[in-house]
Amino acid sequence: MKRTLVKLRNSNFRKYLQKHQKHAPLIFFTGGFIFDSLTLGRIDRLYDLILLSLYMTLLTVTIYIYNLADDGKWKNTFLERYEGYFPLVIQFFFGGLSSAFVLYFLRSVSLSKTISFFIILVALLIANEFLKKRISNKYFQFSVYFFVSFTFFTFITPVFIKVMNTSVFIFSGLVSLVLTLMFILFIYKKSPSTRAEIQKRKIIGIVFIIYISINLFYFFNLIPPVPLALENGIVAHNVQVEDHNYVVTYESDEWYVFWREHRLKFIYVPGDEVYVFTSIFAPTDIDKSIFHRWKWHNDTTNKWEVVEDIGYDITGGRNAGYRGYTFKNNAIQGLWKVEVITEEELIIGVIDFEIIVNNSLHPIKLVNKKF
């Protein structure tokens, strides 16, 4: 009786997918994104690490069994009845991983040049809706798999080895490259249909092109230094430490500007200091040197000039981010920005503001907030 019910439910589910096959990819895509949005929090949290590792493992297994299905490998096995679902399962795991990366990158990306790599991730996430039509293209399938694998290892490796620098990024990429090529060659050896569809040299060449492209993004500072993330960045009139809290005094914006803490137009009184307060999320046990690179826009040359780099060290583990601040005396009127960077000069975030000199005695409305 139970087997009959299982077959009936399976049959009904299959009929439902066939009836709504046009919308099934979107449903799986949306489901993976919503699930990640509701459940993922910190990259160093045990749940997140297990979920991402499980996604990556199950994606690898599903791609393997999907590629061997065309060779009749699963004939007369329990997998045969589920072969029609393999593309949707692959799509779900692609969507789950890419949406997780988007959520983590979203914490790191500010209005800086690192947004370009974030846009690529979002494009991959949206393109996943149309993946079902192209999943049979094994060049495309293995290319997306390598991109996802590369991103996965750049997130996971610093968390486990407690170090984050250029060497770790290169190591993570090489691990992903070697494992992906071994995986592709293993399928190529086991699957006659795969050997008939793709050229070994061509797929290896495509993987190397992706590998080189991601590394170029990194060395041109076009990738945010994940898993570091800028939680808060505020230009302020004063910062004081009281009972392990940072009391930040700043000018608040209008009530409808809900997406930032401070006004972009900073009213400067000659003789005062200009502070920039930041809180940066870092995984537990990662120690890192952080710099505030103060830049001023020279209207005469129409270029940004580096005024000063001021650094401090952070230690990971605090949910709201590791707090710190720098300040400048005798600031010049005009457009300013403070780039929050690592010692490798990778941009974590940018705080933009405009300094307006106030020579009048009119009081400035200030807000005090504890961080």
Indicate the range of 90-94, 102-106, 128-132, 320-324 predicted with least confidence.
128-132
CA distance 346 to 236: 24
**For 202-231, what is the mean pLDDT?**
87
- Please indicate whether residue 122 or residue 20 has the higher confidence score (pLDDT): 122
- Please indicate whether residue 115 or residue 226 has the higher confidence score (pLDDT): 226
Token duo for residue 22: 């046009």
**Most confident range, picked from 20-34, 69-83, 187-201, 318-332:** 187-201
Q: What is the predicted pLDDT for the residue at 318?
A: 67
Which of the four pLDDT bands, split at 50, 70 and 90, describes residue 219? confident
Q: What is the predicted pLDDT for the residue at 137?
A: 79
Q: What is the predicted pLDDT for the residue at 30?
A: 63
Q: What is the predicted pLDDT for the residue at 333?
A: 93
Class of domain 229-370: mainly beta
What φ, ψ does residue 171 adopt, rounded to 5°? -60, -45
Token duo for residue 179: 């494992």
Domains of the chain by residue range: 12-219, 229-370
pLDDT digits (tens, 9 = 90+) for 110-121: 545 556 666 776
pTM of the predicted model, to two decimals? 0.75
What percent of the chain stands above pLDDT 90? 37
CB 92 within 8 Å of CB 31: yes
Taking all residues of the chain, what is their mean pLDDT, rounded to a whole number? 81
**Most confident range, picked from 16-25, 29-38, 227-236:** 227-236
Q: What is the predicted pLDDT for the residue at 115?
A: 62
Q: What string of H, E and C letters represents the secondary structure of the chain?
A: CHHHHHHHHHHHHHHHHHHCCCCHHHHHHHHHHHHHHHHCCCCCCHHHHHHHHHHHHHHHHHHHHHHHHCCCCCCCCCCHHHHHHHHHHHHHHHHHHHHHHHHHHHHHCCCCCCHHHHHHHHHHHHHHHHHHHHCCCHHHHHHHHHHHHHHHHHHHHHHHHCCCCHHHHHHHHHHHHHHHHHHHHHHHHHCHHHHHHCCHHHHHHHHHHHHHHHHHHHHCCCCCCCCCEEEEEEEECEEEEECCEEEEEECCCCCCCCCCCCCCEEEECCCCEEEEEEEEECCCCCEEEEEEEEEEEECCCCEEEEEEEEEEEEECCCCCCEEEEEEEECCCCEEEEEEEEECCCCEEEEEEEEEEECCCCCCCCCEEEEC
Which of the four pLDDT bands, split at 50, 70 and 90, describes residue 6? very low
Q: What is the predicted pLDDT for the residue at 282?
A: 76
CB 157 within 8 Å of CB 172: yes
